Each structure stands twice: as C-alpha cells, then as structure tokens.
Amino acid sequence: MKAKREIKCPKCDCRYIVIKEYVITFLSYIIKDNKIIGGQVEHCHGDIIKVKGECVDCKHRWTFRKVIQINCLFEEEKGIDY
Ligand SMILES: [Zn+2]
C-alpha cells in the first residue's frame, strides 16, 4: 500500500516509523453470589480510539490528527471498500 501523503517524523523528518492503532479492550469479570467465578479479555477491533506514530530513529511519539485508522493514511486497494 502506498501512502496518500508523506509519513515522516515531525521532529527529525525520519521516514522509518511505527504506527500504532489504539483499540478498546474490555476486561470482563463474571460475578456469581458475590464471588468472581471467571474473567476474560475481549478485544473489540472495530473500536479504534486513536492512531499514534513512533519514530524508529529518535523515538519521538505523536498522534495523527483526524486519522481514525491506519487505512486513512494509505490509498485504498482495488476491490476493498472501507
Ligand atoms: Zn524522529
């Protein structure tokens, strides 16, 4: 996939970065008769709350504004509708 615009570190202009989508995760606890009888972690991949970048070179971190998921930064591939 090709980026719609140049993706680079705002601090050092490095073009080698890691992008992280922050996703809502639920921790569920099952209570019966006042005791915890079970629990589980639920990852809900539909709910991305923010997209952040981290520069591999200088370790600077920033938030991509107006970007709700990494696909917003790249050209759509043929045959896939988002
Ligand atoms: Zn940097």
29-73: pLDDT as tens digits: 999 999 999 988 776 666 788 999 999 999 999 999 988 888 888
Residues whose Cβ atom is located within 5 A of ion ligand 1: 9, 11-12, 14, 55, 57-58, 60
Query: Distances from the Cα of 23 to the Cαs of 7, 12, 28, 45, 68, in angstroms?
Result: 21, 27, 16, 6, 11
Rg (CA), the chain: 18
Predicted structure pTM score: 0.67
The predicted structure's pLDDT at residue 82: 52
> Helix, strand, or coil here: 70?
helix
Specify whether the CB–CB gap between 71 and 51 falls below 8 A. no
CA of 3 to the centre of ligand 1 (A): 18
CA of 63 to the centre of ligand 1 (A): 13
Domain map (residue ranges) of the chain: 17-73
The predicted structure's pLDDT at residue 2: 85
